[in-house]
Structure 1
Amino acid sequence: MNRPHDPAPGASPAPRATDWIGTPVTADLLRGALDLERTEHGVLPHRLPARARAQCADGQLAMAEAQPSGVRLVFRTRAAAIELDTLRTKMAYQGAPPRPDGVYDLLVDGSLAGQASVTGGNVLMVDMTTGTAETRPGPVGTVRFTGLPDRVKDVEIWLPHNEITQLVALRTDAPVEAVPPGGRRVWLHHGSSISHGSDAASPTTTWPALAASLGDAELINLGLGGSALLDPFTARALRDTPADLVSVKIGINLVNTDLMRLRAFTPAVHGFLDTVREGHPTTPLLVVSPIHCPIHEDTPGPSAPDFSNLGAGKLQFRAAGDPAERAAGKLTLGVIREELSRIVKQRAADDPHLHYLDGLGLYGEADFAELPLPDQLHPDAATHRRIGARFAELAFGTGGAFAARPA
């Protein structure tokens, strides 16, 4: 992995300072963000619009939507060297070893051509035992890619899916120009931390990014860690975002936050889908139920942290609910799958473009036996690849909700 200021193996040295061309980071160079906020350092991509952010003061949501999962710089250039100054905010847990640095993926004409990380930046230190957090400030860092092919090419720099990233400056040794939107269909997806990317290896290997690549789609990822909670402002963001394909993955966050009972869940799902349909009345809309998660299959939430292995860098989770509480309407993953299937079947009678995908087809009990969830909630890098490939097959493949239709 290339580190800041280190040229790629076999690459030529970086250009002299006088050879760099600075280009302002503007909306026409970014894909996957719904809003850009001007900061004292540069621009901060957001995955929820300002109106939505103003309607919820939850710190978890604020952190998740500002982590740029699926957000990438896209431009055309013949530059052989690229530098990007960024100010990251990296999460850390009190008492645990440092988390791995976020990764920048460089794609040239659609193929992975380099990876790098930045140093410096802010650290958001979280104390899981008290539920408190503090931000420790740090300096701007630089990511550099050199030795790129000397020809006109389309370049994508995918930002780390798990670090808040302020874009400070973009420099190249040749001019850049925006790439107009191409002929690929735009896929708008919403889900939990699993869709956000959880423990994927890099931003292009989250399962939605992999599925989009396999399905030849342009991804807008509204996977929001801990925050797929049927919020009306999220539904409005989906409604107001142009897209050719829309999917919503519903379930795990509602269980592990113990946010609502079945009585509230059913009308909330209907209301969420009604709002999305206001902006996308005939767009293929795919409702995806939760993947297999043993601790919550039959046991309600909330999820509680297990600190027993925190010193070794292993934060795990357990179900703190009581299975007997299902009778009182508490949600489990099994209850949610059954109700989502029923809701989609009911609505599909009047909505032929509405579809359902059982999350157990993406990752089921047999998959857990082979590739268990390391912390009992989130898939690892190998599992992201499996889920991405299966989603591409089931949704984009022949007969799937997102299969290309004849012109």
Structure 2
Amino acid sequence: MDDQHAPVPDPSAATTASLTTPLTAELLRGALDLERTEHGLLPHRLPARARAQYADGQLAMAQAQPSGVRLVFRTRATVVELDALRTKMAYVGAPPRPDGVYDLLVDGRLAARAGVTGGNVRTVDMTTGSVETRPGPVGTVRFGDLPDRPKDVEIWLPYNELTELVALRTDAPVEPVPHGSRPVWLHHGSSVSHGSDADSPSTTWPALAASLGGVDLVNLGFGGSALLDPFVARAMRDTPADLISLKIGINLVNHDLMRLRAFTPAVHGFLDTIREGHPTAPLLVVSSVLCPIHEGTPGPTVPDFSTLAEGRLRFRAAGDPAERAAGKLTLNVIREELVRIVKQRSAEDPNLHYLDGRELYGEADSAELPLPDQLHPDAATHHRMGGRFAERVFGPAGPFSR
């Protein structure tokens, strides 16, 4: 490692975390692939074969942001330090993005929350598509005063920053936590599932629902990239899972990606592929939560730069409702077709289910907690959605009940 990226010690606190544990796949949950870099270990949420099939910058960034990825280990350490090199996103003319947050859980309960300094900054100009990266140093996130007893520790990585894991230090030995004690829930969705504007990585709605449902989460929520890509379906097919959900809708409208003629076969194909690897697992199709700008208006979705002077970035629908007659997709059109597809398929697949996303966030919620940028929920909405999903899906009458 060169001097530019060497960890900078915190002079305000003498470290007692003198034991270094190699960072390996045994200690990580929620990642489908691990890449060795010049600095350390970079978690990916898509395997290398999938990433190689389409070199899209948005998807490449989203799948490398470790939403739902966490270090999990057993220790009696009272001090834990993690060296990490972050890559933070910035957008020309837009308000600064919030810093990423690390959540530390002890025996399943949130015990501490911290951030890391330094790191790279990747700046995107949304008007030209240009990207510039400014390198920065590795930082250290430190958790102290942990209970002096054997315990399970989880460090949830920031959902909104690329995170290269450099070194793990503790003041007592670390051992992996065996897999298999809880069912694995595999979920795919858009930026709403990725985390959008949640407070922290363990309080995105899927993370909250997983905690309430007592399951291990593998979150394939990719901001701007839930597009029925066949390589995502194959990744889901090949990932061990007990429960599977698929949230479909908003990104297809955002990108104005396809017409109804292509949408229906694409959904069938995606479900067919998942069923090749998981023929009988409970499989839940979830439509979009309420998004007023696209309920009856097609995409594309475009930035509304008129609000930048107020320090806010908002979005608007640039399509024409009249274009629905030509097969353009809106959220209402997608919901109606998903209901039809699931009803048709469930006649032969009794473990296939449907949930209207407006049960998680609907008209009344929009009046109380409007989407701040017209597209993404805020932190309070993530809490509401996570609780409702757990109740409706993991509850006694839900498709994932056990």
Q: Distance in 1 between matches of 2:373 and 2:112?
A: 29
Q: Distance in 2 between matches of 1:384 and 1:99?
A: 18
Structure 2 match to 1:221: 219
Residues 6 and 144, structure 1, Cα contact 8 Å, conserved in 2: no
Residues 32 and 47, structure 1, Cα contact 8 Å, conserved in 2: yes
Out of 317, 328, 336, the position equivalent to 2:326 is 328
User: Which 10-residue stretch deviates more, 95-104 or 62-71?
Assistant: 95-104
Residues 210 and 217, structure 2, Cα contact 8 Å, conserved in 1: yes
Residues 96 and 311, structure 1, Cα contact 8 Å, conserved in 2: no
Specify every segment of 5 or more residues in structure 2 that has no aligned partner in the other structure, as ranges: 1-8
Structure 2 match to 1:169: 167
Q: Distance in 2 between matches of 1:193 and 1:394?
A: 21
The answer to whether 1:21 aligns with 2:19 is yes
Displacement of 1:131: 2.2
Structure 1 match to 2:6: none
The answer to whether 1:269 aligns with 2:274 is no
Deviation by residue 1:352-407 (Cα, 9 ceiling, x = unmatched): 00000011111111110100000000000000011111100110012111011xxx
Structure 1 match to 2:371: 373
TM-score between both structures, scaled by the size of structure 1: 0.95
Residues 72 and 159, structure 1, Cα contact 8 Å, conserved in 2: yes
Specify every segment of 5 or more residues in structure 1 that has no aligned partner in the other structure, as ranges: 8-12
Deviation by residue 1:82-138 (Cα, 9 ceiling, x = unmatched): 110000000111133322110000001111110000111011111122222211111
Displacement of 1:14: 4.3
Structure 1 match to 2:5: none
Out of 104, 107, 114, the position equivalent to 2:105 is 107
Alignment of 1:8-407 (within 5 A): 14-16=14-16, 20-404=18-402
Q: Distance in 2 between matches of 1:266 and 1:14?
A: 60
User: Which 10-residue stretch deviates more, 293-302 or 309-318?
Assistant: 309-318
Q: Distance in 2 between matches of 1:283 and 1:116?
A: 37
- What letter corresponds to residue 271 of structure 1 in structure 2? G
Displacement of 1:15: 3.2
- C-alpha RMSD over aligned residues: 1.2
Equivalent pairs, count: 394
| SS in structure 1 at match of 2:306 | coil
Residues 97 and 312, structure 1, Cα contact 8 Å, conserved in 2: no
| SS in structure 1 at match of 2:71 | strand
- What letter corresponds to residue 170 of structure 2 in structure 1? T
- What letter corresponds to residue 197 of structure 1 in structure 2? G
Residues 14 and 146, structure 1, Cα contact 8 Å, conserved in 2: no
Q: Distance in 2 between matches of 1:229 and 1:296?
A: 16
Displacement of 1:39: 0.2
Residues 296 and 321, structure 2, Cα contact 8 Å, conserved in 1: yes
Residues 249 and 287, structure 1, Cα contact 8 Å, conserved in 2: yes
Residues 24 and 169, structure 1, Cα contact 8 Å, conserved in 2: yes
Q: Distance in 1 between matches of 2:146 and 2:309?
A: 42
- What letter corresponds to residue 383 of structure 2 in structure 1? R
User: Which 10-residue stretch deviates more, 155-164 or 129-138?
Assistant: 129-138
